[in-house]
Amino acid sequence: MIYFVTVHLEDEVHAGPLGFTKTVYLFTWGVDPAEAERHARAYCLGIGVRVRACSKPTLSQNQDMGRLTFPEQVYGAPRDLVERAIRSHDFGDTITNETLLTLTKKREIVRRGLEALATA
């Protein structure tokens, strides 16, 4: 299931349109809120950002991965589900392949973060 997680960081980061902030908002995947939070923490840890706390994950109103503009940004989601959603957009080979590469990179970040969480 897709969850929305508010992540409170130890340090300020630059987060695109939010500018400099200690709070970021992520979409994550989980069978329950605990797994969704673990994926949010893993993503942050994987990119080298320390998490202070997460607000309770809430279910996303949209559970249809194919209707998301950036399904590759749902951290921890099953690859086959995300890949199917990306391909459903029919953006052409170049954009599809670039997005699949981005998906692979983001999945690696989450994997590294999960490993770090397991040893912490």
d(CA 78, CA 20): 31
Q: How many domains does the chain have?
A: 1
- Report residue 90's pLDDT band, with 50, 70 and 90 as the boundaries: confident
- Give the residue-averaged pLDDT of 6-26: 94
* Structural domain that includes position 79: 2-119
CA angle 93, 71, 115 (to 5 degrees): 110
Query: For the chain, give me the number of helices (H) and strands (E)?
Result: 3, 5
Note the pLDDT of residue 120: 77
pLDDT of 17 above 90: no
C-alpha dist (Å) from residue 53 to 12, 16, 40, 87: 14, 21, 10, 35
Work out the percent of the chain whose per-residue pLDDT is above 90: 93
With contact defined as beta carbons under 8 Å apart, do 20 and 14 qualify?
Answer: yes
Task: Report the predicted TM-score, pTM, of the whole model to 2 decimal places.
Answer: 0.93
Residue 40 has pLDDT above 80, yes or no: yes
